[in-house]
Amino acid sequence: MSQETVASQGPITRGAYPELSPHAVIVGYFLGVLIAVSIGYASLSLGFSIEGSELAAILGFGILRGILRRRSIVENNVTQTVASAVNGASSGMMFSVPAIFILGYGMEFNPYVLTFGAIAGAFLGIAFIIPLRKQMIDFERLTYPGGVAVATILKSPGAGVEKAKLLLGAMVLSGLVAFAVNYQQASHDKVLDADPNVIAAMAYDARTAEIAAEVAATEKALAAAASQEEKAQLLQNQISLAGILEQHRQSERPEAPTRKDYSKFKLGDLIGAPSYFNITLYVSLMTIGVGFIAGRGGVAFIIGGYACYFLLAPMLNLLDMPVEGVDITSPGALMSGLFRPTGIGMLIGGAVIGVMFAFPLIRSAINSMQSSAKVESAMSRDEMPIKLLYIAIGGATVLLAIMAITSAEQTGIVRGLMMAVLGTLWIWMAGIILSEAIGRTNWSPLSGMTLIAVTILIMITQSFGGMDTMQAIVASVTVGAATCVAMSQATDLMLDLKTGYLVGATPRMQQLGQFCGAWLGPIVIIVLIFVLHNAYGLGSEKLPAPQGQALASMVNGITGGDVPMEKYIAGAALGALLSAVQGGLGITVGLGFYLPFYVVITYSLGTLLREISDRRMGKNWSDNKGIPFAAGLIVGEALVGVGFAIYMIVTAS
pLDDT over 70, % of the chain:
82
**318: Cβ–Cβ under 8 A, 6 or more apart, which residues?**
none
Compute the radius of gyration of the chain from its Cα atoms: 26
- pLDDT tens for residues 426-479? 777 777 766 766 666 555 667 667 777 777 787 787 766 677 778 888 888 888
- pLDDT tens for residues 594-611? 888 888 999 999 999 999
pLDDT band at 389 (very low <50, low <70, confident <90, very high): low
9 pLDDT above the threshold of 70: no
- pLDDT tens for residues 107-162? 888 888 889 888 888 888 888 778 777 666 765 566 666 666 677 667 665 666 77
pLDDT band at 176 (very low <50, low <70, confident <90, very high): very high
Residue 325 CB neighbours (<10 A): 9
Which region among 54-58, 486-490, 495-499, 597-601 has the lowest average model confidence (pLDDT)? 54-58
Of 537, 557, 559, 401, which Cα lies nearest the Cα of 478?
A: 401
Residue pair 478/403 in contact (Cβ under 8 Å)? The answer is yes
Q: How far apart are CA 650 and CA 195, in angstroms?
A: 22
CA trace torsion 477, 53, 579, 277 (10° rounding)? 90
CA angle in degrees (0–180, nearest 5) for 11-16-19: 85
- pLDDT tens for residues 345-356? 887 788 777 667
Of 102, 200, 243, which Cα lies nearest the Cα of 563?
A: 102
> Cα separations (Å) of 264 from 38, 274, 597?
21, 17, 11
277 pLDDT above the threshold of 80: yes
The full DSSP string for 442-459 is S---HHHHHHHHHHHHHH
Question: What was the pLDDT predicted at 584?
Answer: 72
> Cα separations (Å) of 633 from 2, 42, 292, 562, 640?
40, 11, 10, 40, 11
> Cα separations (Å) of 24 from 19, 61, 89, 151, 382?
7, 11, 20, 17, 19
Average pLDDT over residues 14-36: 81
50 DSSP 8-state letter: -
The full DSSP string for 179-204 is HHHHHHHHHHHHHHHT-HHHHHHHHH
Residue pair 345/107 in contact (Cβ under 8 Å)? The answer is no
Amino acid letter, residue 624: N
Which region among 177-191, 343-357, 406-420 has the lowest average model confidence (pLDDT)? 343-357
Question: What was the pLDDT predicted at 438?
Answer: 66
Write out the H or E segment, with its range, that includes residue 264.
Answer: strand 264-265
- pLDDT tens for residues 199-250? 777 777 777 777 777 777 777 777 767 777 777 787 888 788 778 877 777 7
31 pLDDT above the threshold of 60: yes
Residue 653 CB neighbours (<10 A): 6
Question: What was the pLDDT predicted at 151?
Answer: 74
Residue pair 350/578 in contact (Cβ under 8 Å)? The answer is yes
Question: What was the pLDDT predicted at 407?
Answer: 79
What is the pLDDT of the chain when averaged over all its residues? 79
Phi, psi values for residue 326, rounded to 5°:
-130, 130
Question: What was the pLDDT predicted at 264?
Answer: 87
84 pLDDT above the threshold of 50: yes
Amino acid letter, residue 572: A
Enumerate the domain spans of the chain: 3-186+337-652, 198-256
Q: What is residue 265's three-state secondary structure?
A: strand
Amino acid letter, residue 407: S
Q: What is the pTM of this model?
A: 0.74
Q: How far apart are CA 285 and CA 635, in angstroms?
A: 10
> Cα separations (Å) of 149 from 152, 274, 442?
5, 45, 12
Residue 170 CB neighbours (<10 A): 21
Write out the H or E segment, with its range, that includes residue 3.
Answer: helix 3-9
CA angle in degrees (0–180, nearest 5) for 524-528-532: 180
Q: How far apart are CA 412 and CA 463, in angstroms?
A: 11
- pLDDT tens for residues 367-385? 555 555 555 444 455 666 6
More confident residue, 11 or 642: 642
What letters, b where the CB count within 10 A reaches 16 and e where it falls short, cover 580-612?
beebbbbbbbbbbbbbbbbbbbbbbebbebbee
More confident residue, 438 or 276: 276
